[in-house]
Amino acid sequence: MIIILTSKSIGNNDKGTLTTSSTKKRRDGRDFDELRPLKIEAGVLERADGSAYLEIGDNKVLAAVYGPRELHVRRLLKPNMAILRCRYNMAPFSVEDRKRPGPDRRSVEISKLTAEALNPAVFLEKFPRSTIDVFIEVLQAEGGTRCAGITAASVALADAGIPMRDMVAACAAGKSDGQVIMDLSEWEDKEGEADLPIAMMPRTGDITLLQMDGHLTSDEFEQALDLAIKGCQIIGEEQKNAIKNRYGD
Amino acid sequence: MLLVEDKQIVVPGEILAEGDYHSGRGTFKEEEKVCSSLVGLVAVRDKKISVIPLQSKYIPKRGDVVIGEITDIRFSMWNLDINSPYSGILPAAEVFGKEKRELNRAFDVGDVLFLRVVDVDEVKKVKLGLKGRGLGKFRGGILIHITPTKVPRLIGKKGSMINMIKDQTRCEVVVGQNGIVWVKGKPEMERVVQKVVKTIEEEAHTSGLTDRIRDMLMELLEEGTEKTETEETSKKEEEDFKEELIQ
């Protein structure tokens, strides 16, 4: 198992491309366009076909992929392609107040949108009448777990040897304390004005997930989207490094 | 314009070449660019670029020989697990001909068979057969699972790798295209083969593997003989110690 760490280089950027009203430091000392420390490791589980472990800030996420494998639920079977099923689950100990175990409204929603975010990237037509199952377990949560989950799931899919058009990277942007910022922490998400998580394929630039809650003016939205895309591009590079590191390159 | 080197590790979505290149296995073409769709090693042949996957599932192909385990007995056929997204069927007619007999007399659930893929149809129904040399039921031995893409590496050029393993350990070894390996021999030799096969799987993408595996085999075999010796000596010591205690 090889571990890669990046955090230093992310902060250095040309501030001329993006204009913000102020450049004050954030609560955790980050710049407005700085990611939390990111670590991705591929192939951590022995029994799954593919797996990945991801840490971003204090988030800890584990993703496992099984398949393509035989599908026994006949009504879900598609004769011309595989289906992609996702399950996002938070461990009871992942949050401050113990979460009741089992699926809830939120995790059902995130499971669905994770599957939809990954779907366009996978060549499902190569495995007709089968299923690919993705399991995402959040071990520790600190804001932005859906993005962390999608990023980890994509690395696990590649590790399982499933053909894909591109990796899928996800990153959030938003507005907190009157400032448009990249990669919101839990505090910034709760106390902030807006949250905009996106998932995209870094090579093609296709956005496969875009959600927003809170209020942003159209100018702020453009800024936030640019920041989120930039975040995805950095995360995409890290995903590639994680896979290459697994094979000692 | 080629953007990668031969045998370089690539990831899904990585651009391999632009312009006048053809896309081979494990790649696809988008806007005049050849991209990788897998994690694997690049193989460039003239103007054709392919990616050899490092990890994959077995997709049944007509003519392949595979190892399968019987999971179910139906009215006139057996269902088999062939380590693939598609399960296989073995029709009773393949075994008995026109004669009618009870199926569970021949093979029962849990039996491991060596089979040939007779046909794969449009709905991915995998028909298996037992007609051919060496095909049939295995008795005893152990099974080892590897990634199907690494099967050619395990066999080696004209069987160089697999024959070396067979000769050194005096085990019977059968490799199915679906990544299942059956080994039968002395129990300690079976363990040696298992270790060696797993190493080959892990290091399949490196060069000079056959020589390294030869060294590893030698080492393991020597270790095996040494271990029995040391065990004997330690047993002797123990007995001496006991005698001392009694005295």
B237 is a domain residue: no
pLDDT in tens, B193-246: 999 999 998 888 777 888 888 888 888 888 766 555 444 444 444 444 444 444
CATH number at residue B71: 2.40.50.140
Residue A18: pLDDT band with limits 50, 70, 90 = very low
End-to-end CA distance of chain B: 85
B98 is a domain residue: yes
Show the domain range for B29: 9-53
- Same domain assignment for residues B47 and B73: no
pLDDT in tens, B39-54: 999 999 888 999 999 9
CA distance B91 to B95: 7
Structure-block tokens of residue B168: 């050194």
Residues 123-162 on A with a CB inside 8 Å of B are 123, 127-130, 158-161
Q: What is the pLDDT along chain B (247 residues), one digit of tens a residue?
A: 889 988 899 999 999 999 889 999 999 999 889 999 999 999 998 889 999 999 999 999 999 999 999 999 988 899 999 999 999 999 988 888 777 777 778 899 999 999 999 999 988 899 999 988 889 999 999 999 999 999 988 998 888 899 999 988 999 999 999 999 999 999 999 999 999 999 998 888 777 888 888 888 888 888 766 555 444 444 444 444 444 444 4
Residue A93: pLDDT band with limits 50, 70, 90 = very high
In three-state form (DSSP H/G/I as H, E/B as E, the rest C), the secondary structure along B11-23 is CCCCEEEECCCEE
Q: What chain B residue is nearest to A158 in terms of C-alpha separation?
A: B39
- Same domain assignment for residues B147 and B120: no
- Dihedrals φ, ψ of A80, to 5°? -110, -5
Which residue in A84, A232, A243, A245 has the most chain B C-beta atoms within 10 A of its own C-beta, making it the best mutation to test that interface?
Answer: A243
CA distance A36 to B124: 46
- Same domain assignment for residues B86 and B125: yes
CA distance B238 to B230: 12
Across A130-137, average pLDDT: 97
B238 is a domain residue: no
Q: Which residues of A touch B53 (CB under 8 A)?
A: 161
CATH number at residue B30: 2.40.50.100
pLDDT at B103: 79
**Domains in chain A and their CATH numbers?**
27-246 (3.30.230.70)
Answer whether B37 sits within 8 Å of A123, measured CB to CB: yes
- Same domain assignment for residues B186 and B124: no
Answer whether B85 sits within 8 Å of A69, measured CB to CB: yes
Question: Is B123 part of the contact surface with chain A (CB cutoff 8 Å)?
Answer: yes
Contact A195, A214 (CB under 8 A): yes
- Same domain assignment for residues B93 and B35: no
Q: According to DSSP H, which parts of chain A are helical?
A: 105-118, 145-159, 186-191, 218-246
Of B9, B59, B149, the CB nearest to A249: B9
B239 is a domain residue: no
Sequential DSSP letters for A169-187? EEEEEEEETTEEEES--HH
B17 is a domain residue: yes
Q: Which residues of B touch A249 (CB under 8 A)?
A: 9
Residue A249: pLDDT band with limits 50, 70, 90 = low
pLDDT at A231: 96
- Same domain assignment for residues B91 and B76: yes
B247 is a domain residue: no
**Which among B108, B137, B166 is the end of a domain?**
B137
Answer whether A70 sits within 8 Å of B39, measured CB to CB: no
B59 is a domain residue: no
pLDDT at A52: 97
- Same domain assignment for residues B39 and B89: no
Answer whether B14 sits within 8 Å of A240, measured CB to CB: yes
pLDDT value at A216 more than 90: yes
CA distance B190 to B236: 28
**Which among B116, B137, B158 is the end of a domain?**
B137
pLDDT in tens, A178-208: 999 999 999 999 999 999 999 999 999 999 9
Of B38, B54, B124, the CB nearest to A247: B54
Q: Which residues of A touch B205 (CB under 8 A)?
A: 247
Q: H or E element: which one contains B210?
A: helix B209-246
Contact B8, A247 (CB under 8 A): no
B175 is a domain residue: yes
Sequential DSSP letters for B89-127? EEEHHHHHTT----HHHH--TT-EEEEEEEEE-TT--EE
pLDDT at B212: 87
Number of domains in chain B: 3
Across A24-40, average pLDDT: 91
- Same domain assignment for residues B102 and B153: no
How far is residue A182 from each of residues A234, A242, A247, B228, measured CA to CA in Å?
A: 12, 22, 31, 63
